[in-house]
Structure 1
């Protein structure tokens, strides 16, 4: 079968190539899915171009967000039957004609939900959903979201608005600012430093100076949920500068740590989307042969929302 593999080239437009690879050999608890669509994430671009250290080794396979049809059910009897449309969160290798996915990382895709929309849900949606869960009751609370105009930020804004939060979102892009307001943000500012007032809960994913500026906006007793460092700059904090926010709680929130399975949470995201309460933001749909270009544009922030690639 065909799959996209890393070339080892740090230049994103040349970072992938189509290759013949063996068909999936699933474990007993895995179903094989024929992929119809997948989405790509900025973190995957950073793995390929070496932003995290060194470029991905030649031959490495990536891909965490897929939608498609089960063509081989799990041997242990768990999960969906052959022919079921599903959304999945494989641990890499999703940029392929077929991929084996643990049944705990699959959710059924209802009739009427397009594979292109469903493919945006796993990574960005799981991150946003689990951040809202970690924040607790946000009804009537002031929330500050840095880097709000990405895939996670759009989902997070809509989920928080639906839960009753008063949201100030951060982006310097005017078109994305308008969309964030449509999704429920009360106000949009260009930088965390521009936000007015104090916030009960802060969602931070940039690091560096933006982290420090966001912390400076914390109300006494606030919680800051730290879920990324997209700016690749480490955080520097002044103990004494935090005293006005005391007792401030900072929580490190990796999206993959959860008491619920990926499949359970993807099912929630699917339901909210099917009910019209969550709206995947798709900035591009293209053939999967254009994945490398899409990754380059996502990395350079030329795509608003998610980039989705289709197979066949």
Structure 2
């Protein structure tokens, strides 16, 4: 059997992430074989790699070319340029991808741009779906300088919302304003926010930020929680929350949304078309070779950059 290279966990080396040889994948009938050109990093898979067992293969986001179309006739044809998503193992030269998580790319969308879309773009997209129509509605995006936050600002602005961005550092204001935010809230304390209440809050910090944000929802509004980078323990004013009437706290796990709401193929096609037409931009902060995966992953954990890191896979 032929061999491919892929990123895997090796606890004995610095950074824990290395390239190793594996057997080439044997796809199921509903899977296409994709020759990967670019990948992007997300905090969730990188965090998992810090404690995962030896041999575990991380990776959610990928973009490349279909080398062998799915045997059942579904999905893109051989030679198609695609963007896709896996639960793990996407960071390899050749991967088997279910066709329900693959979308063809417009010619004008690069592999680097496309690789940022699956987890960050789809998470933002599904979080905003919970708000229904956002036209002229106030929307708060926490952790707004990250990949999800940046996409959420752009998509909310495109939907006609009045977007407020929560940021940690004053120097980040230019980033979120460029993405489309009309105002910013600075620091960890949201209790003195002057822009709420909000029809929709997209929240991924947790801890005190989530507790404060629950007090900023408008009646019949919704707070979508999809991360806890600031801590999992939350204290909030329950009487203030329930007395609003109709306010909701919604927990979002992307892979559940892709089964229950809409397939990744549909959402990725929409996002790629928005990139192609210039309606949204991909917030790429770093581009490097995938041989630098351990270094770039550590930079992500250390918050040394905002936006997305894209790694290119060389032949």
Q: CA deviation at 1:105?
A: 0.6
Query: Which of 146, 150, 164 pairs up with 2:146?
Result: 150
2:283 aligns with: 281
2:235 aligned counterpart, secondary structure: coil
Q: CA deviation at 1:66?
A: 0.5
2:193 aligns with: 195
Q: Is 1:3 the equivalent of 2:1?
A: no
Deviations 1:232-289, CA, capped at 9 Å, x for gaps: 3222233224255334211112222142111111000000000101100000000001
Query: Which of 62, 65, 70 pairs up with 2:61?
Result: 65
1:268 aligns with: 270
2:172 aligned counterpart, secondary structure: helix
Query: Which of 76, 85, 88 pairs up with 2:84?
Result: 88
2:19 aligns with: 18
2:120 aligned counterpart, secondary structure: helix
- Paired residues for 1:158-307 under 5 Å: 158-191=154-187, 192-196=190-194, 197-243=196-242, 245-256=244-255, 257-258=257-258, 259-307=261-309
* 1:287/1:311 contact within 8 Å kept: yes
Taking a change above 3 Å as real, the CA distance of residues 112 and 221 of structure 1, as seen in their structure-2 partners, is closer
1:52 aligns with: none
How does the TM-score come out when normalised to structure 1? 0.93
How does the TM-score come out when normalised to structure 2? 0.93
> Which consecutive residues of structure 2, in runs of 5 or more, have no partner in the other structure?
none
2:282 aligned counterpart, secondary structure: coil
* Alpha-carbon separation, structure 1, partners of 2:191 and 2:297: 30
* Alpha-carbon separation, structure 1, partners of 2:147 and 2:9: 23
> Which consecutive residues of structure 1, in runs of 5 or more, have no partner in the other structure?
50-54
* 2:49/2:58 contact within 8 Å kept: no
2:112 aligns with: 116
Q: CA deviation at 1:216?
A: 1.8
1:43 aligns with: 44
Q: What is the root-mean-square deviation in Å for CA atoms of aligned residues?
A: 1.5
Equivalenced residues, count: 305
Q: Is 1:128 the equivalent of 2:124?
A: yes
